[in-house]
Structure 1
């Protein structure tokens, strides 16, 4: 087609009419009324901290408008806010984010409006402008106003799953509504998930909810400084929280003390509230704090008929006879859809033969109803009811569940677990999982019906012959073979007797028994521990040991196997080339430099975090001391003897009387008779840190020792601002980091606080030693305060009450100790 000059001018005018918006310039931080954003275009905050544009969630073809970090080099980018959570777009190049009638709106590829700031028409701006700020806040304001004037709309008032520093989580007193922090549906779907966090203005606490109604965690009330159920805030030197209340709203906000720290709070897809900080050195987000502390405490995490287990990944699995409702969602860690039966029961049609899956759970699921009858009648009632999904007979009471089963956590190894029977198709069950009320009788009836009486006789004789054969085989195998149970080797006693040269090469000993060096048939070197005073039967012992064997961590000694023959109970561990920590600190085997000592302190902390917080059940070590810290060929610390307290039972007074050289590590609550928690390990860890610094026992055990109590000296130096390097092992010639020594001394003083709640968790200790957070000056423990002030003598260590009333008094001044009975 040929155009004249006149035609060309008309054509240009027409194009301009249909192209009123202008592309954004590179590096812009605003969208004005004459601009739009589409395709790969973005706007960037002034100092290039945050960026806004279209992003794709995971491997899907769905696009959203979001804000992400620029300085966080994660892949995919870390999203802090999403506009169109519920309605995605498929073509970002034909979609537009622009200002229309004073509102920022998103038009999809068909030019339909799918999201808007929804500013009221009474406040419609004549010349609106959207600005992305360096704190991650997207604001809509009049282009003629200054930055001090409040915005008519801001993304901080509409959080998604991330709470950024400077933002509020508020309760609006006028509308009676809370600002919610809501999880994504899955890692690849930013839609509104089932988990939320909100403020209760009456109790001034934050509450985590499932499906907007079911509470499953609370922060506790705000006392002006911290939330009562978040004691970690006492040691918090990263965040400054503040609470504000006026006639319009109540809210919390927070800031970061160090502006160079990149940090955020999120409501994760896991249902946990998480506090994360970015570690540039490792290029990853570091989990600083999370609640609920264990994943399985999150309500209905695994959905209907899903079971949660803290011992491995993924946390969720379907009950036997069930499958995920959505395999794709399950793969993306979205377990909310739960599980469905592999075979539809088609109740009332008698198509499928029904049965019950027998499981043990830590606690019974909610929403049960009560029926009348015996255990057998309870079974029959549920079997014949189309609506009944499960039943349990507890304390002579019949409980039935007509709805979905939620919050299941199987606990088949614990005798105190509750038994529940879940209705499924019989063909989907292994025989061992079926309801014993039915099968104890029916299995024998079936056998008799098929083979007749004569067949039963032959069958019984066959069983007897098999049992005789097995017994003969086992007796022949002693001393010659070993059997494998899971990942552990079940050794026969004679093998270990030969491997250890009849237990002649003793490596050490403690309250749980003696340890011997051994060499197996494959020439591998092991450490064999002969356990003492074990009263458990073989079956229970094997069960407990199998549990310990599943616990794997780089800072825990690996259990390789065990022996359980009669009264002989032995454990076989990896051999540690550099022996135990006490041989280096107190017995002159090799002087450890400061760098090695610091890494040992950090490694022990990591191992205890795993035991306390990341195992299926919290494991309290009960005997943290240098003798139980082993060092491999690279001087990597590994905690030994974890889980043994459970093996020997909870009669701790008996255990403590057999432990030698451990009095200096006992938390005060051991002697008060109260239940011991993981904070007892924290105390022991703190006492051990002092020895790691000084290279000597905190209090010499000899009666004529005139050495001062070392924790007193540390407290004095910290309190007076003295020479911190004077506390370090003299063999290091002051070659140590002042910052690290100060940090470890402060942590140690926090760990030995008299009250359990005042001591930090081991995860908090780990964060401090890693340098993620600072630690402030600790209060001097009450007992140590008395020592420093020399006002009176204080009993710091006491033998177990069962052993008598012997007490050891320790003074801070260099004078002899006194003992009384």
Structure 2
């Protein structure tokens, strides 16, 4: 065994060893020299400490004469990643893997595992070392159980280095620039920035991202992500065969079915295709951001980023969006129910095959019968249990029979010992001779499947027994006891209803008193507005949430739940995620993800916080994307009606999230009436609110444009000056554009001119276009998004009529001078064609 590499645990053991060596030398070789001085002992100890320091300097590398064992680790140069032995959860097995050094979770966040399929039980008798030019893991018996598998010709010079990007590499010498092997080519369940998931165009070999089997078993699970080079898309498959999700084709910027993955200020995605290979990769604009992409045990791919201030992983996006879209998530005879927790349940008459696996969210084993069906005997030994499933997720592997009725279909299944279920619908009779897979319950497009179940396990048997027992008790005790029992049951049912925590779609239905406890009786107020007040709360699982108490909600219980369920299905990286709701009497509350950086106004208009120009521009772009999603990509168009900095929230990475979307309808706003029925915010309201015409998405465009001016100036559009006069910034910005003055003179002075001229100009032009008086001349938010992304160009639009006059003070109305008006008219003439051209380009 070579000289071990030191970990954080190693120095104290080496010091002890040095002391023992010194003690040995003192009492043996020099025992006759009784006057042996302390200086010699000190020299020996100093030599030992020097050895410690020299070994620690190479803590990111394993050389040919070194190894790691036990609690020893190596750490990347800037301490981003650490590699060593670890245990997965409460398992007794050990693995060699790497984890995030700077992520302080209860258990390490594992980014890569070497021996996924072959764990060890004793880490102190096992070691990772270089043998014949390969990195090899030896188990307790010193047998190799994992190796890099190279044919190295210069084995003595090979070293293993852990890099700061999470890539473990083998090099031909510490100064070599090339890698002869790298862990990036052998991903597990985690895809790190800079790595790739590729397809070899020559050999046809796929590089897979595979889920863990469970939280305590990193071996390959059933779910995998792979690249389809023919359609330039990514696929998720179950058991390497059944496809259940696709990203859609790559269009040069994004995958068509994953709008969340478009180019943004956090992740830079790119697709590469050449003669040898095709692959997708991504990087981070801010290298200090800690992010990972995982193929989760849930069968969903997830993008997460680490929030330093809250010390937790933040889910950036996930696909498929709902858990029950994952193929066969609950295993055989298990049913996935999106409207309940847990998602997976065994059918009546069935139990989990492995309860321990189910407790670890590994449902792949499915369910087995409580009682085996007595085949070949009378039908009284079993019956059929009706269950509901969706037509678009009918369990696979069924046989269609040509029978004329439901009764005949049932008799066919009854007479077939291998038949486990049947259904009869417009498509005829279908029977399942094997296991029922991919069962999913929903309220839409239901079909009924009848599952063969032993009679003793059918609910009707238990119900009959209950009736008999009830009759006996009733005859003995009498009418009084029966009435008492009824009252007791009514009381229990009432308690059960009040205390219920159900799920509507993917939303949790909270109990009011639980939210009252979570928010400490609504004491920690985060803010408020036209829709109600928002309070900070902490759920029992330590999740921090924002709880909004709605005001003036006019819908009844059923309509409110319906509207909230619709809002809950909307997911986008630039929209605040709704977690759940509460509806008890007049109390209507919504529970959202908590945004640690609060609302945008606290950054724009505060001297304590300052956003640089790059961040402001990206927030403007992200907000536009969120509004595009609401206006054009939701099933039903959603008009926000109250766009302002207070309703743009910022997560831990300052990613903008549009809040309060969909609430205008919830609180009963009438979009066809005048302003008196509207509780929006003065200064951001479009002129049509005063005209009484029906409100369209262009009202949000107007509000967005007014907000853009505030991005530029860092102040409210109408701000009181020291001399008591009001300054209207949009007018000033429009004049600077028309006159051709230095655009940076209007930028927030706190930035000291540190802004891109072309971006400031672009935001000014877009803002002026958005606040046109006639809503027909305003752009759609999709056009705004394309302009900010650089896909469309735009010149100076006409100056809005609203800017033709402004209030100089409370008593005087000041108009533009003749020269200003003529310049505006000239600009309006010059821009008619450019606006039309931009619209035409966008529609194309």
**SS where residue 184 of structure 2 aligns?**
helix
**SS where residue 419 of structure 1 aligns?**
strand
1:284 aligns with 2:312: yes
Determine the structure 2 residue equivalent to 1:701: 689
1:198 aligns with 2:207: no
1:33 and 1:127 in contact (8 A); partners too: yes
**SS where residue 281 of structure 1 aligns?**
coil
Determine the structure 2 residue equivalent to 1:16: none
Determine the structure 2 residue equivalent to 1:164: 192
Write the deviation string for residues 84-129 of structure 1: whole angstroms up to 9, x where unpaired: 00010000000111111111111111111111111136x5634321
**SS where residue 94 of structure 1 aligns?**
coil
- Structure 1 pair 278/721, CA: closer, same or farther in 2 (3 Å)? closer
1:37, CA displacement in angstroms? 1.0
- Structure 1 pair 218/792, CA: closer, same or farther in 2 (3 Å)? farther
1:248, CA displacement in angstroms? 2.6
Determine the structure 1 residue equivalent to 2:117: 86
2:92 and 2:121 in contact (8 A); partners too: yes
**SS where residue 382 of structure 1 aligns?**
helix
- Structure 1 pair 101/779, CA: closer, same or farther in 2 (3 Å)? closer
Determine the structure 1 residue equivalent to 2:286: 258
**SS where residue 241 of structure 1 aligns?**
strand
1:409 aligns with 2:440: yes
Determine the structure 1 residue equivalent to 2:459: 430
1:207 and 1:217 in contact (8 A); partners too: yes
2:261 and 2:269 in contact (8 A); partners too: no
- Structure 1 pair 335/104, CA: closer, same or farther in 2 (3 Å)? same
Say which of 103, 107, 111 aligns to 2:134.
Answer: 103
1:572, CA displacement in angstroms? 6.0
1:58 aligns with 2:89: yes
Separation (CA, whole Å) in 2 of partners of 1:347 and 1:138: 57
Q: 1:256-655 counterparts in 2 under 5 A?
A: 256-348=284-376, 353-363=381-391, 364-373=394-403, 374-395=405-426, 397-411=428-442, 413-414=443-444, 416-431=445-460, 486-487=497-498, 559-561=582-584, 573=588, 624-625=640-641
Write the deviation string for residues 308-340 of structure 1: whole angstroms up to 9, x where unpaired: 222344322222222111101100111111111
1:199, CA displacement in angstroms? 1.1
- Structure 1 pair 153/349, CA: closer, same or farther in 2 (3 Å)? farther
1:161, CA displacement in angstroms? 0.7
Separation (CA, whole Å) in 2 of partners of 1:780 and 1:176: 35
**SS where residue 427 of structure 1 aligns?**
helix
1:427, CA displacement in angstroms? 1.9
- Structure 1 pair 248/433, CA: closer, same or farther in 2 (3 Å)? farther
Determine the structure 2 residue equivalent to 1:128: 158
1:357, CA displacement in angstroms? 1.6
1:293, CA displacement in angstroms? 1.5
1:392 and 1:421 in contact (8 A); partners too: yes
Say which of 209, 224, 234 aligns to 1:181.
Answer: 209
1:51, CA displacement in angstroms? 0.9
**SS where residue 282 of structure 2 aligns?**
strand
- Structure 1 pair 57/294, CA: closer, same or farther in 2 (3 Å)? same
**SS where residue 262 of structure 2 aligns?**
helix
Say which of 777, 787, 791 aligns to 2:788.
Answer: 777
Separation (CA, whole Å) in 2 of partners of 1:700 and 1:545: 26
Q: 1:143-158 counterparts in 2 under 5 A?
A: 143=173, 146-149=175-178, 151-158=179-186
**SS where residue 130 of structure 1 aligns?**
strand
Determine the structure 2 residue equivalent to 1:139: 169
Determine the structure 2 residue equivalent to 1:788: 797
- Structure 1 pair 757/196, CA: closer, same or farther in 2 (3 Å)? farther
Q: 1:25-36 counterparts in 2 under 5 A?
A: 25-26=55-56, 28-36=59-67
- Structure 1 pair 352/183, CA: closer, same or farther in 2 (3 Å)? farther
Separation (CA, whole Å) in 1 of partners of 2:317 and 2:588: 33
1:488 and 1:560 in contact (8 A); partners too: no
Separation (CA, whole Å) in 2 of partners of 1:222 and 1:311: 33
Separation (CA, whole Å) in 2 of partners of 1:663 and 1:228: 42
Say which of 713, 717, 720 aligns to 1:723.
Answer: 713
- Structure 1 pair 305/142, CA: closer, same or farther in 2 (3 Å)? same
Write the deviation string for residues 642-700 of structure 1: whole angstroms up to 9, x where unpaired: 7988x9xxxxxxx99886459999xxxxxxxxxxxxxxxxxxxxxx9xx65x6442225
Query: Normalization by structure 1: what TM-score?
Result: 0.61
- Structure 1 pair 324/720, CA: closer, same or farther in 2 (3 Å)? closer
1:718, CA displacement in angstroms? 5.0
1:178 and 1:199 in contact (8 A); partners too: yes
**SS where residue 701 of structure 1 aligns?**
helix
Separation (CA, whole Å) in 2 of partners of 1:310 and 1:704: 42
**SS where residue 424 of structure 1 aligns?**
strand
2:686 and 2:702 in contact (8 A); partners too: no
Q: Which has the higher contact order (CA 8 A, sep 6+)?
A: 1
Determine the structure 1 residue equivalent to 2:277: 249
Query: Normalization by structure 2: what TM-score?
Result: 0.60
2:567 and 2:578 in contact (8 A); partners too: no
1:554, CA displacement in angstroms? 11
**SS where residue 330 of structure 2 aligns?**
coil
Separation (CA, whole Å) in 2 of partners of 1:306 and 1:194: 16
1:43, CA displacement in angstroms? 0.8
1:231 and 1:757 in contact (8 A); partners too: no
1:30, CA displacement in angstroms? 1.3
Separation (CA, whole Å) in 2 of partners of 1:79 and 1:709: 47
**SS where residue 36 of structure 1 aligns?**
strand
Separation (CA, whole Å) in 2 of partners of 1:737 and 1:336: 59
Separation (CA, whole Å) in 1 of partners of 2:151 and 2:126: 24
Determine the structure 1 residue equivalent to 2:246: 218
Write the deviation string for residues 231-251 of structure 1: whole angstroms up to 9, x where unpaired: 223352222223333333222
Write the deviation string for residues 681-740 of structure 1: whole angstroms up to 9, x where unpaired: xxxxxxx9xx65x644222533599xx989558649959995352536769999x9989x
- Structure 1 pair 781/312, CA: closer, same or farther in 2 (3 Å)? farther
Separation (CA, whole Å) in 2 of partners of 1:325 and 1:622: 45
1:759, CA displacement in angstroms? 9.6
1:197, CA displacement in angstroms? 0.7
1:235 and 1:776 in contact (8 A); partners too: no
Q: Structure 1: which 5+ runs fail to align?
A: 10-21, 435-442, 460-465, 490-514, 516-524, 563-570, 577-591, 632-636, 648-654, 666-687, 761-774, 794-811, 816-821
- Structure 1 pair 270/124, CA: closer, same or farther in 2 (3 Å)? farther
- Structure 1 pair 70/776, CA: closer, same or farther in 2 (3 Å)? farther
Separation (CA, whole Å) in 1 of partners of 2:343 and 2:249: 30
Write the deviation string for residues 7-61 of structure 1: whole angstroms up to 9, x where unpaired: x99xxxxxxxxxxxx9994461111111111100111111111111000010011
